[in-house]
């Protein structure tokens, strides 16, 4: 991606060539009492491969219970009775369920000025070239708190008439739709 002028870029880290390892077909022990769906190591390995190929997300083995919980909702919503059937259906269709699959597997931790030292560093960069044309990409914007924090930092550092452009994006379409509304409201006070 080519960003003219001064640019700050912080991509999500994806380790190339770090595709998930194949797993055995052993059935997972129950996560608590009574699993609603059969969940095997092979199902988890398949999810790891699909989310990596489709979105570049590397799911670590320790995320097994989280993946089961989140994708169980997708099975219920789509009427599938097993992970094997759901994943096969997903692979055979190119449609909106892929985005739902991605949305289900992303984690959206957000807060205003989360990791304050990052904003101190941003302000120092901005002060180093106050008359430059700045373009900043917040690529994991979640519901908007980080993007708004970047904008506030730029406004306070450079003033209201600075040549500053902020682009915010997120792989999860639901949180991005929330961010686009621009209404943070009471959820920000929980941070």
3-class secondary-structure state, position 113: coil
Does the active-site annotation cover 70? yes
Could you tell me which of 7, 2, 1, 21 has the C-alpha nearest to residue 166? Answer: 7
Distance separating alpha carbons of residues 67 and 27, to the nearest angstrom: 15
Does the active-site annotation cover 2? no
Distance separating alpha carbons of residues 48 and 19, to the nearest angstrom: 8
* Angle, CA of 78, 95 and 181, to the nearest 5°: 90
Q: Catalytic: which of 43, 46, 74, 170?
A: 170
Q: Catalytic: which of 70, 114, 135, 174?
A: 70
Determine how β-strand 6-8 pairs with β-strand 134-138.
parallel
Q: CB 135: neighbour CB atoms within 10 A?
A: 17
Residues noted as catalytic: 70, 170
């Amino acid at each position: 991606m080519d960003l003219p002028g001064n640019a700050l870029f912080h991509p999500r880290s994806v380790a190339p060539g770090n595709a998930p390892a194949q797993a055995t077909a052993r059935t997972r022990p129950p996560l608590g009492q009574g699993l609603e769906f059969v969940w095997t190591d092979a199902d988890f390995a398949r999810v790891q491969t699909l989310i990596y190929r489709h979105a570049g997300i590397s799911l670590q083995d320790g995320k097994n219970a989280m993946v089961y919980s989140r994708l169980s909702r997708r099975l219920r919503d789509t009427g599938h009775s097993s992970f094997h059937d759901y994943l096969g259906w997903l692979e055979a269709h190119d449609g909106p369920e892929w985005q739902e699959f991605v949305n289900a597997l992303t984690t959206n931790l957000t807060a205003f000025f989360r990791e304050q030292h990052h904003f101190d560093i941003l302000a120092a960069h901005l002060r180093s070239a106050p008359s430059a044309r700045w373009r900043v990409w917040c690529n994991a914007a979640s519901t908007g708190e980080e993007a708004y924090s970047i904008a506030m930092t730029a406004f306070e550092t450079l003033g209201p008439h600075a040549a500053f452009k902020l682009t915010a994006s997120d792989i999860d379409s639901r949180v991005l739709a929330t961010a686009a509304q621009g209404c943070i409201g009471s959820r920000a006070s929980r941070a």
